[in-house]
Amino acid sequence: MSQPRHFIVGTELTRAELAAVVERAVELKHAGSDGPQPLQGSSVALLFQKPSTRTRVSLQVGISQLGGQALLLRSEELQLARGESVKDTALVLSRYIDGIAVRVGEHSLLEELARHASVPVVNALTPLHHPCQALADLQTLRERFGAVEGLRVAYVGDGNNVCHSLMLLGARLGVEVIAATPAELRPDEAIVAEAGDLARVVDDPVAAADGAHVLYTDVWVSMGDEGDEGDARRRRELLEPYRLDSGLLARARDDAIVMHCLPAHPGEEITADLLYGERSAVWDQAENRLHAQKALLEKLLV
């Protein structure tokens, strides 16, 4: 049996493969729900430890539109909750289904599952990476600007999993990503280095925004950080100067767009006028999770 193709970080795809997935996502969007159904007879497990709106719904709907069956598996309902190993879970699930999408609180758990699975495993979010979001982002850039190579994205806020994936996958297709973050919330240095010359980190959001095609932000307090009130308060204090507002947008190009991976908190990381304004691509981003993930599943499973 051949080794399965996993999508854990996103760089498992070559530049050519990534570009093809983005183009296929655009095609599938135009085809709508009446498009091809290459997953007829296939089942994909959705193993979720964390709450989800866009990831869960877009995957379930996308698998259905491709002709497959999605099985939602909450970790607390599996024997994982009673001490069964990740290895054994992977070995068993691989006998039943054709792919696994995983949204978990520890990146190492995802890596272990992929190590023992004999079917493709897709990262549907971990604290370290969110490559499915980056796929949808690249599709959105492709639609808005016609091509992605040479674009400059200013990511402003917390240097988190979304920032990591945007840097890594963006660099694959020639997108420059400049992250403006507080020193305490900078992205992982090893990931920035892996992204290469097209990824940079600065302190000043204005410097990042100057001449940018895109201004991008994410929530200030992510899942996993909400329970610690002291940490949440400290994050908000650190990120207060990094709010995405009209003043910052004015430093970008005249044709610049605004992006946010959602959920959003208007008045915190982004002002309402930008989130809902005419230069917002946020809702296209959200829709494109469906089409980009369909293209990815077609690539990995067919």
Give the strand order in the sheet containing 99-103: 69-74, 43-48, 99-103, 121-123
> Of the listed 132, 218, 243, 260, which one is catalytic?
218
> Of the listed 130, 152, 164, 243, which one is catalytic?
130
> Of the listed 133, 139, 285, 293, which one is catalytic?
133
Q: Residue type for 48, please?
A: F
Residue 130: active-site member: yes
Q: Distance of alpha carbon 106 from its chain centroid, rounded?
A: 16
Residue 204: active-site member: no
> Of the listed 6, 56, 103, 291, which one is catalytic?
103
Residue 279: active-site member: no
Residue 218: active-site member: yes
Residue 133: active-site member: yes
Residue 289: active-site member: yes
Q: How far apart are CA 51 and CA 30, in angstroms?
A: 29
Residue 162: CB atoms within 10 A of its CB come to: 26
Which of 112, 124, 115 is closest to 86 using CA atoms?
A: 112
> Of the listed 213, 235, 289, 291, which one is catalytic?
289
- Name the residues annotated as catalytic: 103, 130, 133, 218, 261, 289
